Amino acid sequence: MIFEGALSMADAYFFLFFLLPLLLLVVLYFLVKPRPVKIPIKNRHVFITGGSSGIGLALAHRAAAEGARVSILARSPGKLEEARNAIGLATGIEVAVFAADVRDFEAVKRAVDEAGPIDVLLLNHGVFVALELEKMELSEVKFTMDVNLMGTLNLIKAALPAMKNRKDPLPASIALVSSQAGQVGIYGYVAYSASKFGLRGLAEALQQEVIADNIHVSLIFPPDTDTPGFAEENRRKPELTKIIASSSGSMKAEEVAQKALDGIKSGSFIVSCNLEGIALSLATAGLSPQRSFLMAFVEVVAAGILRIVALGMHWSWYGSIEKYHRERKGSTRSS
């Protein structure tokens, strides 16, 4: 009897830890769609918005170093010129520069037409202000939405016809730079999160519309990254945003650019930049497409435990918010 019990226990372990996962892997292998794809960038035209500063500039450096033909677009002609010189010095490659505001569809269309058919459209431009909605002017909210969301739509509308009609049979890519604040709402990022969460819906729907044209969408989620834009944002950041975001470290723009470009080349829909980002992406996988059956396996297995981790994070964040307000009430009463 004891032997029989031990055997059935061994059978149960075998089923639970070997057969069941194996079965799940086989099912997921046939289930995941769209299928995996590789996007080459060597000798291809990579068009980067916001390519004159921070992450965009690092992306332009990387893409040029990997042999792509690079175009960059931003507003300030001076910063574009500086970027062109810096990339030329570092890589020996001359990038094409286009001065335009992404909010201006006609200007964007002229730039895209002049640049020629695009193989990888990398929409990285963005503005970010961390401030409570109550303290933000509506004009600032609208500016954030217009640049981050409408600007992205303007670029896609301008570039898509030529991308669809390209002669090159190789797969093409449209990559959007979101933010971890586009995966989870954080105190002080009402407008920014709204604009970056918007990119997710845009990307998920767009992927279905362009898949038949062999165009593949990537959504990049950088963490805090040392850039001129980030330094500017830190000058006004609310105390509570700092407290809540203090647990996550920051990355260098070059590291983020490398992760982003690798993700685009491997055709990943969701591109995370560090371990914390991977956990966040697993926790928020939801209904996003997943091309890798191995990552799909991890998503399925990790879903429950990551939900508990997420609830733990909210416990800590709301605890910080309660403590902050308690202390403020205490100090106003005593003064």
Ligand X SMILES: NC(=O)c1ccc[n+]([C@@H]2O[C@H](COP(=O)([O-])OP(=O)(O)OC[C@H]3O[C@@H](n4cnc5c(N)ncnc54)[C@H](OP(=O)(O)O)[C@@H]3O)[C@@H](O)[C@H]2O)c1
Report the catalytic residues: 178, 192, 196
User: What does the block give as tokens for 278?
Assistant: 């991977």
Select the residue interacting with ligand X from 103, 109, 110, 166 (CB under 6 A): 103
Sheet with 215-221, side-by-side order of all strands: 96-99, 69-74, 45-49, 120-123, 172-177, 215-221, 270-272
Of 28 and 195, CB closest to ligand X: 195
| Residue 256 to residue 261: CA distance in whole angstroms | 9
Stretch binding ligand X (CB under 6 A), from 20-28, 36-44, 96-104, 200-208: 96-104
Asked if 187 is part of the footprint of ligand X (rule: CB under 6 A), the reply reads no
Residue count (the chain): 335
| Least distance (Å) between residue 6 CB and ligand X | 53
| Least distance (Å) between residue 29 CB and ligand X | 33
Return the biggest CA–CA distance within the chain: 83
- Residue 301 burial (CB count, 10 A): 13
Which of positions 278-317 make contact with ligand X (CB under 6 A)? none
Asked if 85 is part of the footprint of ligand X (rule: CB under 6 A), the reply reads no
Select the residue interacting with ligand X from 128, 189, 197, 269 (CB under 6 A): 128
Asked if 143 is part of the footprint of ligand X (rule: CB under 6 A), the reply reads no
| Residue 37 to residue 46: CA distance in whole angstroms | 17
Select the residue interacting with ligand X from 70, 163, 177, 295 (CB under 6 A): 177
Angle between helices 138-145 and 190-210 (to 10 degrees): 20
| Least distance (Å) between residue 208 CB and ligand X | 23
Asked if 241 is part of the footprint of ligand X (rule: CB under 6 A), the reply reads no
Of 147 and 202, CB closest to ligand X: 147
C-alpha separations of 292 from 23, 178, 269 in Å: 16, 21, 10
Asked if 228 is part of the footprint of ligand X (rule: CB under 6 A), the reply reads yes
| Least distance (Å) between residue 162 CB and ligand X | 20
Pattern 198-227, binding to ligand X, x per CB under 6 A?
------------------------x-xx-x
The string of DSSP letters for 232-295 reads HHHTT--HHHHHHHTTS--EEHHHHHHHHHHHHHTT-SEEE-SHHHHHHHHHT-TT-----HHH
Torsion of Cα atoms, 189 then 194 then 198 then 201, to 10°:
100
| Least distance (Å) between residue 166 CB and ligand X | 24
Which of positions 18-57 make contact with ligand X (CB under 6 A)? 49-50, 52-56
Of 50 and 188, CB closest to ligand X: 50
Select the residue interacting with ligand X from 40, 67, 75, 237 (CB under 6 A): 75
DSSP code of 19?
A: I
| Residue 241 to residue 78: CA distance in whole angstroms | 33
| Least distance (Å) between residue 224 CB and ligand X | 4
Asked if 76 is part of the footprint of ligand X (rule: CB under 6 A), the reply reads yes
Helix (H) or strand (E) holding 172: strand 172-177
Q: Which residues bind ligand X (CB under 6 A)?
A: 49-50, 52-56, 74-76, 79, 101-103, 124-128, 147, 151, 177, 179, 222, 224-225, 227-230
